[in-house]
């Protein structure tokens, strides 16, 4: 009965019957019989009912919202979220094993949106000043970074005489190659923690993964790994201390002056916390003027006017160890840290009442300018 075309056909049939009744009585010059009068009334009521129904349908259509506006309140609220807010909510939903149309699921788990991966990278920058301050080349695959061999570059300006050829000088162009070494981290979260509704689950996971990756990248930048990420282990500008377990002011001055003036702006000290403590104790008695213990920008203090970054990834003072670095990260270090994938594993650790979050990265770090880094190496025993 809601099909207007069907109603129109029914109306035409009723009207035809009414017309036939009136034509009959006109032709016979008589009035309706009681039966004809009742039938005419029924047909008239049917036509009126059909007209009323059609009018109601048409009126209803004027109030009906357009199809694209037919959304429930949840859909409307979702549209009002920014991309970052939506992806953060999606991440939390998948951690809690809730269905979410905005997440891509694979056979191995759920692939996390780019926003979450970027938040992890941003947190790594906050935790690791060396990575944050370095020259970053975050592209996939192998990358060659060209540089001029300044140690052997003989280009020079010289006085000249008209009509006399200038002497040609050679410049050697070298390159630093960054490779994509694969590294991964697995973070397991208890379901009891996940089910705590008042807990900031997303930031907890982001921070946990970022802390683990920051420790890893700090270690690789400072110490490196043979046949993998070399970091500052490739720095060749070294000063050797006179002792195996002690450092003098003069040695620190020599290390600092190993960098030319062009690289002093932005240079920092990097050492183990115990080494920094030992230096402060040695210097506090007679040479307090070179120390400034105010904490600025996340650093541990200042030495010879430059910030000190203490890290457990630096070797302690011992025979032949590289105990102190003086480096301009932006000039010396070429780093690469590219998110490969971040996945949530809801089922794998179900028997442990836990959910796993695994993150994969491509990483590398090399010294791209030897003149922007210097190392104090302790005396060999």
pLDDT digit string (tens) for 36-49?
Answer: 888 888 888 888 88
Please tell me whether residues 111 and 213 are part of one structural domain: yes
pLDDT at 62: 64
Q: Is residue 133 part of a domain?
A: yes
Q: Is residue 11 part of a domain?
A: yes
Q: Is residue 199 part of a domain?
A: yes
Please tell me whether residues 9 and 107 are part of one structural domain: no
- 3-class SS string, 213-243: HHHHHHHHHHCCCCCCCCEHHHCCCEEECCC
Please tell me whether residues 216 and 127 are part of one structural domain: yes
pLDDT at 371: 92
> Of the residues 47, 64, 81, which one is the last residue of a structural domain?
64
pLDDT at 114: 67
Please tell me whether residues 47 and 114 are part of one structural domain: no
Q: Is residue 85 part of a domain?
A: no
Please tell me whether residues 210 and 327 are part of one structural domain: yes
pLDDT at 172: 61
Task: Identify whether the C-beta of residue 111 lies closer than 8 Å to the C-beta of residue 104.
Answer: yes
Please tell me whether residues 329 and 251 are part of one structural domain: yes
Please tell me whether residues 288 and 381 are part of one structural domain: yes
* CATH code, 169: 3.30.2400.10
Please tell me whether residues 203 and 58 are part of one structural domain: no
- Give the residue carrying structure tokens 């397991």: 188
Please tell me whether residues 189 and 142 are part of one structural domain: yes
112: Cβ contacts below 8 Å, ≥ 6 apart: 91, 94, 103, 341, 342, 343, 344, 357
Q: Three-state DSSP class for 298?
A: coil
> Of the residues 49, 64, 79, which one is the last residue of a structural domain?
64
Task: Identify whether the C-beta of residue 176 lies closer than 8 Å to the C-beta of residue 335.
Answer: no
Q: Is residue 227 part of a domain?
A: yes
Please tell me whether residues 357 and 298 are part of one structural domain: yes
Task: Identify whether the C-beta of residue 21 lies closer than 8 Å to the C-beta of residue 37.
Answer: no
In the chain, how many domains are there? 2
| Containing structural domain, residue 23 | 4-64
Task: Specify the pTM.
Answer: 0.67
Q: Three-state DSSP class for 16?
A: helix
Please tell me whether residues 297 and 362 are part of one structural domain: yes
Low-confidence ranges of the chain (pLDDT < 50): 1, 70, 76, 107-108, 110, 289
Helix H or strand E segment including 29:
none
Please tell me whether residues 172 and 257 are part of one structural domain: yes
């Amino acid at each position: 009965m809601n099909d207007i075309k069907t109603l129109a056909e029914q109306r035409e049939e009723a009207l035809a019957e009414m017309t036939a009744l009136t034509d009959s009585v006109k032709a016979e010059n008589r009035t309706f019989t009681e039966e004809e009068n009742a039938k005419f009334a029924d047909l008239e009521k049917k036509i009126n009912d059909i007209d009323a129904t059609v009018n109601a349908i048409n009126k209803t259509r004027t109030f009906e919202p357009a199809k694209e506006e037919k959304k429930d309140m949840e859909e409307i609220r979702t549209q009002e979220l920014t991309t970052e807010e939506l992806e953060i909510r999606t991440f939390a939903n998948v951690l809690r094993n809730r269905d979410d149309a905005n997440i891509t699921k694979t056979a191995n788990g759920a692939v996390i949106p780019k926003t979450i991966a970027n938040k992890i990278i941003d947190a790594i920058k906050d935790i690791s000043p060396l990575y944050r301050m370095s020259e970053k080349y975050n592209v996939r695959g192998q990358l060659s970074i060209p540089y001029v061999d300044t140690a052997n570059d003989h280009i020079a300006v010289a006085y000249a005489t008209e009509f006399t050829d200038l002497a040609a000088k050679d410049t050697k162009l070298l390159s630093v190659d960054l490779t994509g070494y694969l590294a991964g981290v697995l973070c397991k979260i208890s379901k009891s923690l996940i089910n705590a509704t008042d807990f900031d689950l997303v930031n907890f996971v982001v921070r946990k993964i970022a802390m683990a990756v920051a420790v890893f990248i700090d270690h690789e930048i400072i110490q490196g790994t043979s046949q993998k990420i070399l970091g500052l282990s490739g720095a060749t500008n070294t000063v050797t201390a006179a002792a195996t377990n002690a450092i003098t002011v003069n040695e620190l001055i020599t290390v600092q002056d190993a960098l030319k003036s062009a690289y002093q702006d932005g240079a920092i000290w990097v050492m183990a916390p115990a080494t920094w403590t030992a230096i402060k104790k040695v210097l506090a008695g007679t040479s307090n003027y070179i120390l400034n213990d105010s904490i600025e920008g996340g650093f541990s203090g200042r030495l010879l006017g430059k910030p000190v970054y203490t890290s457990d990834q630096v070797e302690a003072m011992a025979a032949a160890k590289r105990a102190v670095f003086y480096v301009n990260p932006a000039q010396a270090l070429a780093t690469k840290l590219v998110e490969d994938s971040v996945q949530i594993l809801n089922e794998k650790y179900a028997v442990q009442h836990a959910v796993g979050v695994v993150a994969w990265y491509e990483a590398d770090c090399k010294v791209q300018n030897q003149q922007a880094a210097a190392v104090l190496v302790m005396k060999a025993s």
